[in-house]
Every structure is written in C-alpha cells, then in structure tokens.
Structure 1
Amino acid sequence: MALMSCPACQKRISSQSKSCPHCQAELGERTETLVKISHIEQSNRLMNHSFIFLTLFIAGVVVWFWGGEPAQGVTAMLAISSFVLGFVGYLITRVRIVLHKRRSV
C-alpha cells in the first residue's frame, strides 16, 4: 500500500482505497488518469505563478526607470519591492517546477 494524492482534493490517501475519505471522490479504475490530470493541472498552476512573478519583476523595473531617471521616494520603494518580490518569487517557482517535473506520474 502506498500513499498518493487524491486527484480531486490533493490530500494524501491510500492507493488501494476506492474513494477518498476526505471528499468522497470515486477513484476506481480511473485513478491513473486522474493522477495524470492532477499532475498536469499542478504544472499549469506553477506556470501561471511563474508568469505572475515574472510580470511583477518586469513591472518593478519599468516603474524604477520610468521617465529616464531612477524613481525616488514612495515610488522607489514600490518599484524595489515589486522587483525583489518578483525576482525571488520567480526563482522559487522555477525550482518548484523543476522538482515537480522530476516527480514521476
């Protein structure tokens, strides 16, 4: 008996159970298909997070250098915060994507 994620609610369940005890989703013979679909959906979510953080990073750079001179005051703090949050978030999300792809389906 191995533990796997429920395709519907993502909670850990036994691979031999016929239905999820948390959400009562029927597993039956479709378990492999549901696991693959769940894996693809998680990949899509991670790619969306990556895109959002990259957009935040680019927005920080644009705000910082808008008008030809570096921003000052509140605008500078907003730009730096956006830049750093976008950069760190993008790096973390890319690592999560690599780890997710290494996991076998």
Structure 2
Amino acid sequence: MAIISCPVCANRISNKAAECPKCKTNLGEASPEKLASKHREQMARQAQSLMNQSMLALLLFLAGFGILYWWQPENGSYNQYVSTVAIALGFGWYVVCRARIIWLKRKK
C-alpha cells in the first residue's frame, strides 16, 4: 500500500482508497477529464475565497484609516489603539492573502 496525492485536492491518501476522504471524489470510476475538471473547480473556489479574504483585509485596513481621519482620536486613547490595530491587521492580512493568491497561481 502506497501513499499518493489525490488528483483533485492533493490530499495524501492510500492508493487502495475508493474515494478521497477530504473531497469525496470517487477515484475508481473517475476519468482523467472528470478529475481535471474537479481540480479546476477546486482551484477556482480557493482563488475566489482568497480574493474575498483580501477584500475584507483591505476594508479592515481602510476602516482603521477612517477612524483616524474622521474621529481624530486623542493620542493614547482607545480609538487610536483600535485604529492602529485595524491598520496593522488589515495590512498584514492583505499581504498574506495576496502572497497566497500568487502562490496558488504558480501552483497551477
């Protein structure tokens, strides 16, 4: 018994398995075209999820700047702390999401 990668989700499975436990793809009856189609669908879903996450990160980043611009909190106040954290988290999350999108496109 050998360990192989699922052709759809790349999960490690046994070569004797009838279906992948992660993506539920029936490996015994699937044609190469059907497996390739399922792989493309999986990649498209993952890319869309990453795009949604990067948009949320950008909104968090902009909300932090909005708090600083419109509320003009005093130095050391709770509002300034919240806006600084929102800016830092939003920027970091956005950079990580964009890097994951680039990595996903190169993986294809």
**TM-score, L = length of structure 1:** 0.79
Counterpart among 9, 34, 39 of residue 35 in structure 1: 39
User: Per-residue displacement from partner, 1:32-87 (whole Å, max 9, x unpaired)?
Assistant: 110110000000000001000000000000001114xx322111011111011000
Closer, same or farther in 2 for the Cα pair 1:89/1:5, shift >3 Å? farther
**Counterpart of 2:19?**
19
Give ranges in structure 2 of 5+ residues lacking alignment: none
Give ranges in structure 1 of 5+ residues lacking alignment: none
- Answer yes or no: is the 8 Å Cα contact 1:50–1:93 preserved in 2: yes
Aligned length: 100
Identity %: 27
SS in 2 for 1:66: helix
Distance 2:16 2:51 in 1: 31
**TM-score, L = length of structure 2:** 0.77
Counterpart among 92, 96, 102 of residue 92 in structure 1: 96
